[in-house]
Structure 1
Amino acid sequence: MSVIRFTPVSEITEPLNLAIGLSGGSGTGKTYSALLIARGIAEVVTGRKGAPIGFIDTENRRALHYKAAFPEMVHCDMRADDENGDIVGFGPERWIEYIDAAEAAELPVIVIDSFSHSHEGVGGMLDLHATTLDRLAGDDANQRDKRSQLAWAEVKPRFRRLTDRIIRAKTNIIICTRAKPVMQRGYGNSAKNARPTKLRREDVPWDIAGDASLIFEMTTQIILDPAAPGCPVHQIKVADQFKALLDPRRPMGVETGRAMATWAKGQGDAQAQKELLDAARAIARTGKEKFTAHWQSLDKPQRAIVATIMDELQQLAIEADAVQDVDDEDPFASAKPSAEEMAAAEAEARAAADAQAQEDAA
């Protein structure tokens, strides 16, 4: 029988491992951004510049376009066929083998580009579901409808094992996936995702070609936009500790990787930043007046950090004021403001924030 031990965190000195997801369409800077971040991570992990960056390449050796800029890259060509030309595909067990090999090589960080082959490539999740359904139901359309979930029940456990292998990796992993545009309703700034799901947020016009069970296990998951290559425009999952690192207006780089790896080693000021954001949320929940006073008490560096969640804070303050304004003598009074009231309050809050930002800049 195994011995179960609870360890005081003061005795745990091993760094955490990072799992970073970068998704985007062609021309959004996924590969280059991944390599820059990987360089920063490798330097912190090893304590030296020029530390190796492992690269698992499924894109016909496309990573080699960057070999002059990243001579420390250690390249591995992952193809759909083997050395004999036989199709082996991109099934989950094969990815596990490659991660095992990267760990055995003691690489401080690996980039996988593109992991979308595990989802939509030959032998990927969608392909395995289709072939499993063929076996279970043949060409009978009625039976295929009935047995689709049964086919998924065979396929998904294999991918859950792959997901578990990634999040338990003893090296840092940056996973690049493709993203495709999704249908929108409305136009311009008022456009919204026509079919939001747990992967498709209403305000994000891109669909990640990957499995949700992995995406939401990542330390950080970002969708890049062709309008701003390399910039973390759509932040699907970002911990408070990293919000100040990821400015949607600025491309990610080596320093991004350094800062993330420093946090993973239990160093840096990421925890202090999280505490600053949590305090701002708590005060915003008391209303606009108190939050405005709190904002004015912050110095410029603190304001820069708090500003990363300003939309959330404004919403909290507006809702807090709406609750306080409810007539407690009327049991049918709504605690939720109307759409018009919300729009007016948001415009007022944004104008005040913009005026304060101009004052700070001056």
Structure 2
Amino acid sequence: MSVLQIRQARREGARVVIGVAGVSGSGKTHTALLVALGLAGGDASKVGFIDTENRRGSLYSDVYQQIDGDGRTDVPFLIGDLYPPFSPQRYIDAIHEFQAAGVRVLIIDSASHEWEGQGGAEEIATAGDPRMPNWNKAKSEHKRFMNAALQCDMDIVMCFRAREKAKPEKQMVNGKEKTVYVDLGLQPITEKNVMFEMTVSMMVHDQGTRRDILKCPAALAHIFQTDARYVGFKEGFALRSWLDGAGQLDAKVESWRNRLLSNAEQGLTHIAECWDKTPTGVRKSLGDKFYETLKNSAQEFDKQRAEAAKAAEDSSLASLAEPDASQGQQDHAHSAANDIGDTKTPEDPEAAQRAAEQAGEMAALQDKPEASKQRQPRKAPEKKAEEQPKEDAKPAAQAARKSVEVF
């Protein structure tokens, strides 16, 4: 199977992901709504809004009616309220639901909840033992969320909260090494690499009147790196014109392409079902090479899941095979008691009596039912080793069922 399709590079079929960060009151939501309207070509019915801030996005329901000039419309945008837990999977499901609703541009406000909100990546990492966070699991879930945003059939505008941050560093101060905190300034609240995965990302200030561009390709500098006081509908429309100025592809075919790619993580069997549901004309346009690439991706996802399940099962069996830590302690106590019993009787009668008492106490401890019980290796609940992989696979199975419904 082919891992990829090699083709001549053309600016066609592109989707953009824009990041807008800022503190409360900086204007990020207002900016995102205006840019999204421009990206939608002025059609507010094609703008979707995932609201994680307790229906706060609904307060902007008339924002398009207040535009002075180009872009003004009485048509409302679409909105969906996402409540806790803010797990990456729930964000993925929300993205797919808006995609199925025919939205062209999707605003996610706020994407910060996916990282540090209730049920977000940080809580996933610390769910087992806060002292030993499982960041591999948390970051894996976060990457799935980012992949869904990058591969979906919509342009995305993500809003992020921001706060002042500092990091500890070792520095020499007056000839001594000390830990000092270096000010990093205002930083988006999300995984550290997210803003650089965006097509364009910025930090806005003072109700959107100022901005710091964090990332912007040279081809888009004339749109975003200007002296304009606000970034809004005009910039979004210019970005849409730039995208549409490239080679135009069949919108229906591209929509099916993105939907199929978004479902690849559900595995080879699921992709075969999705391919069967794809219209014959679309399958012909996508071609056999695309399907081979798609199957290769799905097969690799299956392989990774199988390896993860096997590793989890092996880890579970290994932990069950380990003897109870108290076994060593009890053996040590038993040995100590024997040592005391074997010690020669001291000439001092009081010392001899104390030694005898200690030996009796140690022997009594050895004979206690509780101590005997502690010395027994832990017994595993029946079928625990078999059930563990199923438990790990449950979220993926739920996601697969959800994906079938959306597809």
Query: Counterpart of 1:181?
Result: 164
Query: Counterpart of 2:182?
Result: 195
Query: Does 1:78 pair with 2:82?
Result: yes
TM-fit CA distance, 1:265: 2.6
Per-residue CA distance 1:206-256 (angstroms, 9 max, x = gap) = 111011232211001101123xx2145211111112222223651111011
Paired residue type of 1:58: T
Count of matched residue positions in the alignment of Structure 1 and Structure 2: 223
Larger radius of gyration: 2
8 Å contact kept, 1:222–1:232:
no
The CA distance in 1 between the partners of 2:200 and 2:160, in whole Å, is 13
Query: Counterpart of 2:109?
Result: 113
Query: Counterpart of 1:69?
Result: 63
8 Å contact kept, 2:12–2:246:
no
Paired residue type of 1:237: K
Paired residue type of 2:243: A
TM-fit CA distance, 1:68: 1.8
Query: Does 1:41 pair with 2:20?
Result: no
Query: Counterpart of 2:218?
Result: 240
Query: Counterpart of 2:95?
Result: 99
The CA distance in 2 between the partners of 1:116 and 1:248, in whole Å, is 28
Q: Are the structure 2 counterparts of residues 94 and 249 from structure 1 closer, same or farther at C-alpha, using a change threshold of 3 Å?
A: same
Query: Counterpart of 1:122?
Result: 118
Query: Does 1:207 pair with 2:187?
Result: yes
The CA distance in 1 between the partners of 2:213 and 2:182, in whole Å, is 18
Q: Are the structure 2 counterparts of residues 6 and 57 from structure 1 closer, same or farther at C-alpha, using a change threshold of 3 Å?
A: same
TM-fit CA distance, 1:4: 4.9
Equivalent positions of 1:220-239 (< 5 A) are 220-226=200-206, 229-231=207-209, 233-239=211-217
Query: Counterpart of 1:169?
Result: 152
Per-residue CA distance 1:130-176 (angstroms, 9 max, x = gap) = 21334xxxxxxxxx2xx34xx11222111111111111121000000
Q: Are the structure 2 counterparts of residues 178 and 207 from structure 1 closer, same or farther at C-alpha, using a change threshold of 3 Å?
A: same
Q: Are the structure 2 counterparts of residues 175 and 248 from structure 1 closer, same or farther at C-alpha, using a change threshold of 3 Å?
A: farther
Query: Counterpart of 1:301?
Result: none
TM-fit CA distance, 1:72: 2.6
Aligned-residue CA RMSD (Å): 2.4
Greater helix proportion: 2
8 Å contact kept, 1:21–1:215:
yes
The CA distance in 2 between the partners of 1:156 and 1:224, in whole Å, is 27
Unaligned 5+ runs, structure 1: 81-88, 135-143, 185-193, 269-362
Query: Counterpart of 2:141?
Result: 158
Q: Are the structure 2 counterparts of residues 5 and 238 from structure 1 closer, same or farther at C-alpha, using a change threshold of 3 Å?
A: closer
Unaligned 5+ runs, structure 2: 65-74, 168-180, 248-407
8 Å contact kept, 2:15–2:155:
yes
Q: Are the structure 2 counterparts of residues 79 and 248 from structure 1 closer, same or farther at C-alpha, using a change threshold of 3 Å?
A: farther
The CA distance in 2 between the partners of 1:240 and 1:28, in whole Å, is 26
The CA distance in 2 between the partners of 1:56 and 1:50, in whole Å, is 15
TM-fit CA distance, 1:262: 1.9
8 Å contact kept, 1:233–1:249:
no
8 Å contact kept, 2:44–2:77:
no
Q: Are the structure 2 counterparts of residues 91 and 3 from structure 1 closer, same or farther at C-alpha, using a change threshold of 3 Å?
A: closer
Query: Counterpart of 1:340?
Result: none
TM-fit CA distance, 1:13: 4.1
The CA distance in 2 between the partners of 1:154 and 1:260, in whole Å, is 36
The CA distance in 2 between the partners of 1:37 and 1:168, in whole Å, is 20
Per-residue CA distance 1:23-48 (angstroms, 9 max, x = gap) = 000111111110100000001xxxx6
Q: Are the structure 2 counterparts of residues 25 and 241 from structure 1 closer, same or farther at C-alpha, using a change threshold of 3 Å?
A: same
TM-fit CA distance, 1:19: 0.3
8 Å contact kept, 1:56–1:76:
yes
The CA distance in 2 between the partners of 1:3 and 1:238, in whole Å, is 30
Q: Are the structure 2 counterparts of residues 154 and 37 from structure 1 closer, same or farther at C-alpha, using a change threshold of 3 Å?
A: same
8 Å contact kept, 1:163–1:213:
no
Paired residue type of 1:210: T
8 Å contact kept, 1:231–1:248:
no
TM-fit CA distance, 1:121: 0.6
8 Å contact kept, 1:234–1:248:
no
- Give me the TM-score of the superposition, normalised by structure 2: 0.51
Percent identical among aligned pairs is 30
